[in-house]
Amino acid sequence: MIKLINSEGEQRILPSTIFFKRVPFDLNVPFQHLPGRDGAIITGTPTIQPRLFTLEGRIYHQGDKEKVKREADSLLAFLMAVPIEVHLGDRFLISYPQGMPQQWIDEGIELELQIPMLAADPYFYGELVELTLEGAEIIVVSGNARAIPFIKTENSAADFTMTNNRTNQEVRITGASGIIEIDNFNHKVKVEGVDRLDLANDEWLISGFSLLPGENLVSVNAKAKLSFRPRWL
């Protein structure tokens, strides 16, 4: 069963006759050939490529042409509210439809279709995890890739520090005055809703802050809410 959720929060369960045929996983390893020598040298960090996949199959309603047309029209309208969460079990890809080529069969009794999709973010995501931290606590993260959390202090703060002792990453905000919000995914800092990236430490600006799969010992100097979605490759 494939469940879709569009940007307006509408849900759609696709018929069992529509399915994933292939979900690619491609790595890009930059390299340079060496003239006159065997092999090559790696020139950069390997990266995960966007996922290009296709939902394909048929819509059929016991020969009811009008019902087939209505379902196709409704699906097209649904897909226009992007991005689309494409759910497979307890995980989903954040995807953008690239069209919906159609082939009508038996004078419209049956519709064969393809929905090519682009997942610019190649990770599968899980259910949102929300925690309140105070002092030092162990956070257990599922998935097999780093999770990127959103952080918000519970009360007004002048200085805030969060450290992950497993990764040795630290985010430190100095000289604030108010509720602090830290978006580690987009590298943004807000104090009372105002952008204040200038208050963040240089180490965070370079390496960010993340949680590894498994146990992470995380410490804070002020009570804060932390939310994240586990990720899978």
Contacts of 172 (CB under 8 A, 6+ apart): 159, 160, 161, 200, 201, 203, 204
Six-digit token string for 81: 């509210």
3-state secondary structure of 85: strand
Residue range 137-154: mean pLDDT, rounded: 97
pLDDT at 232: 97
pLDDT tens for residues 154-184?
A: 999 999 999 999 999 999 999 988 999 999 9
The answer to whether 82 and 52 are in contact (CB under 8 A) is no
User: Is the pTM higher than 0.85?
Assistant: yes
pLDDT at 102: 87
pLDDT at 118: 97
Percent pLDDT > 70 in the chain is: 100
pLDDT tens for residues 53-106?
A: 999 999 888 778 888 889 999 999 999 999 999 999 899 999 999 999 988 887
The answer to whether 141 and 230 are in contact (CB under 8 A) is yes
pLDDT at 106: 74
Least confident window among 67-71, 116-120, 201-205:
67-71
pLDDT at 47: 94
Residue range 12-29: mean pLDDT, rounded: 90
Q: Is-same-fold flag (2-124; 126-232)?
A: no
Average pLDDT of the residues of the chain: 94
Residue range 181-188: mean pLDDT, rounded: 96
Percent pLDDT > 90 in the chain is: 84
pLDDT at 62: 76
Residue range 192-197: mean pLDDT, rounded: 95
What CATH code would you report for 126-232?
2.60.120.860
Q: Is a pLDDT exceeding 70 seen at residue 108?
A: no
pLDDT at 20: 85
Domain-wise residue ranges, the chain:
2-124, 126-232
**Alpha carbon distances (Å) from 7 to 15, 53, 76, 120:** 21, 20, 14, 16
pLDDT at 61: 80
Residue range 188-192: mean pLDDT, rounded: 96
Residues 87 and 144: their CA atoms lie apart, in Å, by 18
What topology is assigned to 2-124 in CATH? Elongation Factor Tu (Ef-tu); domain 3 (2.40.30)
